[in-house]
Structure 1
Amino acid sequence: ILEIGAGHVGDISKLCGIIRPDFALITSISEAHIEGFGTLKNVQKGKFELFDNTREDGTLFINLDDPLIAQYPDTGKKRITYSMKRNAAVTLQIFDIDSLGRYILDFQGTQIHLRSLGFGAAQNALAACAVAQTLNVPIAQIKWKLEEFEPPAGRGNIINQGGITLIDDTYNANPLSVSLAIKTMHEMKPRGKRIFVLGDMLEMGNLSRLSHENIGAQIASSQIDYLFCYGPETLQTVKTARLMDMANAIHFDTLESLIITLKTLQKEGDIIYVKGSRGMAMERVVNHLTEQGDQS
Structure 2
Amino acid sequence: MNLTSAELAARLGGVLHGPSTDLTKFATDSREAGPGTAFLCIQGAQVDGHTFWPQALAQGAAVAVAEREVEEPYILVPNLVEALANLGRSWRAEWSHPVIGITGSNGKTTTKELIAAALRSRGPVLKSPGNRNTEYTSPLVWAEAAGKGIAVIEMAMRGFGQIAHLARIHQPTLGIITGIGTAHAEMVGNREGICRAKSELLQALPTNGLSILPADDDFIQDLRAAAPGPVRTFGFAPESDVVITGYRALSLTACQVAVRVDGTPYEFELPTVGRHNAKNAAAAIAVATAVGIDPATAIADLAHAEWPPMRLEIRERNGVTIIVDTYNASPDSTVAAIRSLREAPIAGRRLAVLGEMRELGDFSEGGHRLVGRALMESELDAVLLTGGPTKFIESEAVQAGFPPERIQSLDAPDPVAIHTWMQQAQPGDAILLKGSRALGLERALEVAPE
TM-score w.r.t. length of structure 1: 0.91
Which residue number corresponds to residue 103 of structure 1? 255
Which residue number corresponds to residue 280 of structure 1? 439
Q: 2:185 is matched by which residue type in structure 1?
A: I
Which residue number corresponds to residue 15 of structure 1? 166
Which residue number corresponds to residue 255 of structure 1? 415
Q: 1:249 is matched by which residue type in structure 2?
A: I
How is 1:219-230 mapped onto 2 (pairs within 5 angstroms)?
219-230=375-386
1:268 and 2:268 equivalent? no
1:80 and 2:239 equivalent? no
Alpha-carbon distance, 1:271 to partner? 0.7
Q: 2:433 is matched by which residue type in structure 1?
A: V
Which residue number corresponds to residue 208 of structure 2? 57
* Contact in 2 for aligned 1:115/1:148 (Cα 8 Å): no
Q: 1:173 is matched by which residue type in structure 2?
A: A
CA deviations over 1:165-185 (Å, ceiling 9, x no partner): 111111000011001011111
How is 1:147-186 mapped onto 2 (pairs within 5 angstroms)?
147-186=303-342
Alpha-carbon distance, 1:252 to partner? 1.7
> Which secondary structure does the structure 2 equivalent of 1:117 belong to?
coil
Q: Structure 1 residue aligned with 2:191, among 34, 40, 43?
A: 40
- Quick one: distance in 1 between partners of 2:241 and 2:176? 15
Q: Which range moved further: 37-46 or 101-110? A: 101-110
- Quick one: distance in 2 between partners of 1:40 and 1:109? 34
Q: How many residues were matched structurally? A: 290
Which residue number corresponds to residue 143 of structure 1? 299
* Contact in 1 for aligned 2:251/2:273 (Cα 8 Å): no
* Contact in 1 for aligned 2:375/2:402 (Cα 8 Å): no
Q: Which range moved further: 33-42 or 109-118? A: 109-118
TM-score w.r.t. length of structure 2: 0.61
How is 1:185-224 mapped onto 2 (pairs within 5 angstroms)?
185-224=341-380
Which residue number corresponds to residue 4 of structure 1? 155
Q: 1:188 is matched by which residue type in structure 2?
A: A
Q: Structure 2 residue aligned with 1:26, among 171, 174, 177?
A: 177
> Which secondary structure does the structure 1 equivalent of 2:336 belong to?
helix
> Which secondary structure does the structure 2 equivalent of 1:116 belong to?
coil
Q: Which range moved further: 106-115 or 123-132? A: 106-115
| Cα separation, partners in 2 of 1:70 and 1:97, compared to 1, 3 Å | farther
Q: Structure 2 residue aligned with 1:113, among 263, 269, 287?
A: 269
Alpha-carbon distance, 1:76 to partner? 5.0
CA deviations over 1:186-205 (Å, ceiling 9, x no partner): 20221111001111101011
* Contact in 1 for aligned 2:208/2:228 (Cα 8 Å): no
Which residue number corresponds to residue 89 of structure 1? 241
How well do the aligned residues superpose, as a CA RMSD in angstroms? 2.0
Larger Cα-atom Rg: 2
Q: 2:240 is matched by which residue type in structure 1?
A: A
* Contact in 2 for aligned 1:102/1:118 (Cα 8 Å): no
* Contact in 2 for aligned 1:102/1:114 (Cα 8 Å): yes
Alpha-carbon distance, 1:225 to partner? 1.1
* Contact in 2 for aligned 1:168/1:286 (Cα 8 Å): no
* Contact in 1 for aligned 2:247/2:275 (Cα 8 Å): no
Which residue number corresponds to residue 239 of structure 1? 395
- Quick one: distance in 1 between partners of 2:194 and 2:300? 35
Which segments of 5 or more consecutive residues in structure 2 lack a partner in the other structure?
1-151
Q: 1:90 is matched by which residue type in structure 2?
A: V
> Which secondary structure does the structure 1 equivalent of 2:223 belong to?
coil
Alpha-carbon distance, 1:123 to partner? 0.5
| Cα separation, partners in 2 of 1:15 and 1:292, compared to 1, 3 Å | farther
| Cα separation, partners in 2 of 1:242 and 1:67, compared to 1, 3 Å | closer
Which segments of 5 or more consecutive residues in structure 1 lack a partner in the other structure?
none
| Cα separation, partners in 2 of 1:71 and 1:103, compared to 1, 3 Å | farther
> Which secondary structure does the structure 1 equivalent of 2:365 belong to?
helix
> Which secondary structure does the structure 2 equivalent of 1:250 belong to?
strand
- Quick one: distance in 1 between partners of 2:291 and 2:251? 34
Alpha-carbon distance, 1:124 to partner? 0.3
- Quick one: distance in 1 between partners of 2:429 and 2:395? 24
